[in-house]
Amino acid sequence: MSAHSKIHSGQPCYRVRDFSAYIGRHRIFVEGVLPEMETGKTSILFVGGAFDGSWICRQQLDYWAARGWPSYALNLRGYYKSRYRGVSGLGYRDYLDDILSVRNHLHLDNAIYSGYSMGGMLVQKFAEMHGATALILYDSDWPKQVAQAIGEVTGALRTVPPVMHFVPKRQIVEEMMGMAVSDREFRETLAYFRQSFLSGRAYRELEIDRIDVDASKIACPVLVISVSHHDDAQAELARYYNAARLLCEGYSHGSILMSRFHIPVTRSVAEWIARGFPHSVRRSRRLRKPDLESVRRKTMKLFYYSGWNEPRVNICDRRGQELTQARMKKRGPGRWRDESLFEASFSLAEGRKFYLSCQGHEDRPHGRGCYDPSGRTLYLRDGEFFPVCPPHFRQEPVSFTTEIYCRELAHYYKINVMLPRDYSSTERKPYPVAILNDGQNQWKNQGAYGGWHTDAIALDLARRGRCRDLVLVAVFSHPKRDCSYLPPPRGRADLYVRFVADRVLPELRKEINISKDRREVGIIGASFGANCALYAAVKRPDVFGVIGSFSYAHIPDDPVKAKMSSARRLPMARLYLDCGTRWSYDQPSRDDHTGLTRDLVQIARDKKMIPEENLLGVIAEGHYHNELYWRRRIGRCLEFLYPLE
């Protein structure tokens, strides 16, 4: 599917992560949502209107980041968490300085600036002074030149308090949300507004006197979004900038940005961007309540063991706000007389979570707020998820150690093995397996920096329904580690890979039910161990189809990179690539071969591997090249390489 067709379909393509920071000497609070992978798409910075903190843009941040655009929303001084004592002394130029501070800190030199209401006026002036890739103006205020063209009288003798504060009525909140709100939702919204204070001086400059903006100095494309074709100011604003215009009939001033009906508007904005920011385009979109987003959804079937009478599934958005409920039906008896097995099937959109409740009681995961499993059919019992009906008598994971001799490398390899939970209590299909290079560092509290904790993390993910139960095989490194992990001619990774493929796995299969399907046999390594893992993929694709590469190391005339570049298609069923951006604490100017990992991700994309489907590339900002940081990333690697079916 082309980039344009993906945008047009409204489908989110990327998993996302949250961002927040206090920036600059005035501690401007910025929140954002970023795609998990680097996409090369332009960042978007949102500036809200009068009294509107970054919270008003959260639906926008989620939408854009899920489609590959890093998205941020700032809070001007005095707004939301950008606390400031001298609000009364601020002018509009101080607010422009806030935007500039955020731009410089986040390196948003080529960003798209989206301004809502008064924020739209600020981004117009900012683009005149500092430039922008594009401007998106949501029912924006207008400059003095537009006011004069429509005959507006500016500079009225109107008294404005030094500091302005606004607490909306319920009717206004419901207009913004596009629906009736509960008492709790109304109180939460008011709590946001009560945290924002606007300078009366800046308000007069922007809203009453108006400010000058020279359209000839705004070289970027502009999109003007308005809610009525009778709005002469918005029509003149579009003419002034030779802008594209989007008319959203039936919407209100607030609902174009944040109501549950914002999706058709936002999708039209995405189409405008995808078409290359065409000028002087006029398009209308009328609000239709059924015209909601068609997003990727999965139908989840949940089986739940409980002593409750009528449990319900409470479905929440990514931030934990409750959206809807699903009633569970009794399926059969539980383990004892007072317990029953319940069942519910419900639709779960991308990023949605849930918890269970009954008559004021709640079942939530400890310390996590909501359950967030990735499977489609799951059993939930005592806080753990299972892909099949769990046994009555449980068994903890079993670990043991063995040694296998490698004649070619003249070395007895020590190997730690961890079997999944309930291994002896259930009869399942063969388990997937992960070969872990540098096995001496893989178990919790063992090895350098306390180890990766791969054993504990894999178990936790399985219990949370985030990845499959799998067999972990941690192979300790050879005394001559670098030589054994580097491919020929620099090393003898060919001998090591052959040893694992033709000796270790066959020996373990004699005693353990390990899959022979290459799509379920993986090898994971870091640094030179990552070079070895990728070498195994191209050397023995008949055995290894699932590859995890952490901080792939640079070597001159790299044969693995050359092989990947020259191949028509890559043999990996799933490929995870990551790195940090720093090398070590005492070498601050050296990175984690970050550019090399970016090159490998791009090679994989050029070979038609699909991001977030069979390819995941992660650049972990601020992470160093050591086990402590690999520990932080191994969980996401296992989730991606061994997803629940």
**DSSP 8-state assignment for residue 104:** H
Sign of CA dihedral 276, 282, 283, 284: positive
- Residue 294's pLDDT is 45
- Residue 29's pLDDT is 97
Tens of pLDDT, residue by residue over 297-307, are: 678 999 999 99
- Residue 250's pLDDT is 81
Tens of pLDDT, residue by residue over 351-374, are: 899 999 999 999 999 866 899 999
C-alpha 101/C-alpha 74 separation (Å) is 10
Taking alpha carbons only, the member of 365, 368, 309 closest to residue 334 is: 309
- Residue 283's pLDDT is 67
C-alpha angle with apex 103: 67 to 147, nearest 5 degrees?
90
Q: At residue 472, what are phi and psi to the nearest 5 degrees?
A: -100, 130
Q: What would the two tokens of residue 344 be?
A: 């519910």
Statement: residue 175 has pLDDT above 60:
yes
Q: For a pLDDT cut of 90, what percent of the chain falls above it? A: 80
C-alpha 546/C-alpha 267 separation (Å) is 35
Taking alpha carbons only, the member of 87, 84, 127 closest to residue 103 is: 127
- How many C-beta atoms surround the C-beta of residue 429 within 10 A? 10
C-alpha 608/C-alpha 1 separation (Å) is 11
Rounded mean pLDDT of the chain?
A: 92
- Residue 367's pLDDT is 62
Q: Which residues contact 423 (CB under 8 A, 6 or more apart)?
A: 395, 397, 398, 431
C-alpha 336/C-alpha 643 separation (Å) is 32
Statement: residue 402 has pLDDT above 90:
yes
pTM of the model: 0.87
What's the alpha-carbon Rg for the chain, to the nearest Å? 28
- Residue 610's pLDDT is 94
CA distances in angstroms from 207 to 93, 156, 199, 236, listed in the order given: 14, 10, 12, 17
- Residue 4's pLDDT is 39
At 229, is the pLDDT very low, low, confident or very high (cuts 50, 70, 90)? Answer: confident
Please spell the DSSP secondary structure of 316-339, one letter per residue: E-TTS-EEEEEE-EEEEE-SSTT-
Taking alpha carbons only, the member of 380, 370, 331 closest to residue 348 is: 370
Query: How many CA atoms does the CB half-sphere of 633 hold within 13 Å?
Result: 28
Contact 178, 259 (CB under 8 A): yes
Tens of pLDDT, residue by residue over 134-148, are: 999 999 999 999 999
At 9, is the pLDDT very low, low, confident or very high (cuts 50, 70, 90)? Answer: very low
- Residue 133's pLDDT is 97
The dotted CATH code for 3-286 is 3.40.50.1820
Taking alpha carbons only, the member of 476, 488, 607 closest to residue 529 is: 476
At 576, is the pLDDT very low, low, confident or very high (cuts 50, 70, 90)? Answer: very high
Q: How far is CA 607 from the centre of its chain?
A: 24
Q: What would the two tokens of residue 439 be?
A: 């096995």
- Residue 430's pLDDT is 95
Domains of the chain: which residue ranges?
A: 3-286, 297-386, 399-641
Q: Which CATH class is domain 399-641?
A: alpha beta
C-alpha 125/C-alpha 270 separation (Å) is 23
**DSSP 8-state assignment for residue 16:** E
Topology of domain 297-386, CATH = Immunoglobulin-like (2.60.40)
CA distances in angstroms from 184 to 1, 59, 181, 188, 275, listed in the order given: 42, 19, 8, 6, 42
Tens of pLDDT, residue by residue over 477-505, are: 999 999 999 999 999 999 999 999 999 99
Whether 297-386 and 3-286 are alike in CATH topology: the answer is: no
- Residue 519's pLDDT is 97
Question: Edge-to-edge, what's the strand order for the sheet holding 361-363?
Answer: 322-327, 312-316, 353-358, 361-363
C-alpha 601/C-alpha 576 separation (Å) is 9
Contact 401, 414 (CB under 8 A): yes
Q: Which residues contact 286 (CB under 8 A, 6 or more apart)?
A: 248, 249, 250
Query: How many CA atoms does the CB half-sphere of 89 hold within 13 Å?
Result: 3
Statement: residue 10 has pLDDT above 70:
no
Q: What would the two tokens of residue 211 be?
A: 């400010």
- Residue 434's pLDDT is 98
Taking alpha carbons only, the member of 75, 66, 58 closest to residue 321 is: 58
Q: What would the two tokens of residue 306 be?
A: 């409980």
Contact 434, 472 (CB under 8 A): yes
At 289, is the pLDDT very low, low, confident or very high (cuts 50, 70, 90)? Answer: very low
- Residue 252's pLDDT is 84
Question: For residue 163, is it left (φ>0), alpha (ψ between -120 and 50) or beta?
Answer: beta
CA distances in angstroms from 233 to 122, 161, 245, 477, listed in the order given: 17, 26, 12, 70
